[in-house]
Amino acid sequence: MAKVKMPRKSVSLDMTAMCDMAFLLLNFFILTAKFKPEDPVTVDMPGSISELKMPDVGVMTISVDKDNKVFFGVEGQFVRREMLKLFAGQYKIGYTPQEEQEFMNLSTFGVPANQLRTILNMSNAERNKPGVQPGIPIDSADNQLKDWIAQARYADKVVAATNGTESKGLRIAIRGDKATNYPTIKKIITTLQDQNINKFNLITNLEGAPELAGQ
């Protein structure tokens, strides 16, 4: 019997091309990834079947934690700086350039106006400890949230004007905890309505839509 000689084939294949592609994609995803900024507030959001995504740009977020403390955050470092300047002017507080710089990096905060400086002079880890920030006052007698919102909207316009673009207006998103009580949410909604903001978003977790029989 004649032996059939099988040609030996190498099992190693050229992975250069695949490797190239893998790293290209890796680079893309690393560069586009937005890291979650450190938050001083933990919010356990309720679920809903809504599949609308959060808009990409120009959002201000009002977070409310389970102890009904209100936190505020706006996107865009320059908007934040402008907002702080306007707010400082309104409340007659002067901030040093270092403090302004610090505020630019502050994605979310929840302190009354008179404690803002203390927070700005803290380290990041310190100020994000639970309980350090007592929340922004939203009582009708002292509604600082209203001022922040008004100044943020104005600051957004100012920044857009300096960039030579038209501002699309800031969208408003409320991020409430499951256990937040309704009066707090209502106060926020009233605050928004007082400024003629009748359209806003509630941030929720995704939940599967149930099947409805006989629909």
Partner 1 sequence: MAEIDTGGGGGKKKGPKKQSTKVDMTPMVDLAFLLITFFMLTTTFNKPQVMEVNMPDKNNEDKTQKLNEKRAMTVILGKDNNVYYYQGVNNPEVKKTNYSDEGLRKLLLDKKKEVRQVTGKDIFVVIKATEGSNYKNVVDVLDEMSITSIPIYALADITPADLDLLKKNNLE
Q: Which is nearer to partner 1, 79 or 188 (CB)?
A: 188
- How does DSSP classify residue 92? T
CB of 63 to partner 1, least distance (A): 11
Q: Which CB atom, from 68 or from 115, has the smaller least distance to partner 1? A: 68
**DSSP summary character for residue 140:** S
User: Which residue, chain included where needed, has tokens 């994605």?
Assistant: 107
How many whole angstroms separate alpha carbon 136 and alpha carbon 138?
6
List binders of partner 1 among 9-48 (CB under 8 A): 12, 15-16, 18-19, 22-23, 25-26, 29-30, 32-34, 36, 45-48
- How large is the angle between the packed helices 144-162 and 77-91, nearest 10 degrees? 130
Residue 140 pairs in a beta bridge with none
For partner 1, the binding residue among 8, 9, 53, 92 (CB under 8 A) is 53
Q: Partners of 175 in the beta sheet?
A: 63
Cβ neighbors of 197 (< 8 A, separation 6 or more) are 149, 172
Number of residues that bind partner 1 (CB under 8 A): 59
Q: Is 84 exposed, middle or buried (0-12, 13-18, 19+ CB in 10 A)?
A: buried
Q: Is the dihedral of CA 95, 102, 202, 42 positive or negative?
A: negative
Q: Does 193 bind partner 1 (CB under 8 A)?
A: yes
Interface with partner 1 by CB under 8 A: which range of 1-9, 71-79, 144-152, 175-183? 175-183
Among the residue ranges 94-102, 108-116, 129-137, 205-213, the one whose residues contact partner 1 (CB under 8 A): 205-213
CB atoms within 10 A of CB 66: 15
- Containing H/E element for 63? strand 59-64
The nearest distance, CB 146 to partner 1, in angstroms, is 14
The verdict on 181 binding partner 1 (CB under 8 A) reads: yes
Are the C-beta atoms of residues 71 and 64 closer than 8 Å to each other? Answer: yes
Query: Is residue 177 involved in binding partner 1 (CB under 8 A)?
Result: yes
Smallest separation (angstroms) from partner 1 to the CB of 177:
6
Task: By CB under 8 A, name the one of 93, 122, 132, 189 that touches partner 1.
Answer: 189
List residues binding partner 1 (CB under 8 A): 12, 15-16, 18-19, 22-23, 25-26, 29-30, 32-34, 36, 45-55, 64, 173, 175-183, 185-186, 189, 192-194, 196, 198-207, 209-210, 212, 214-215
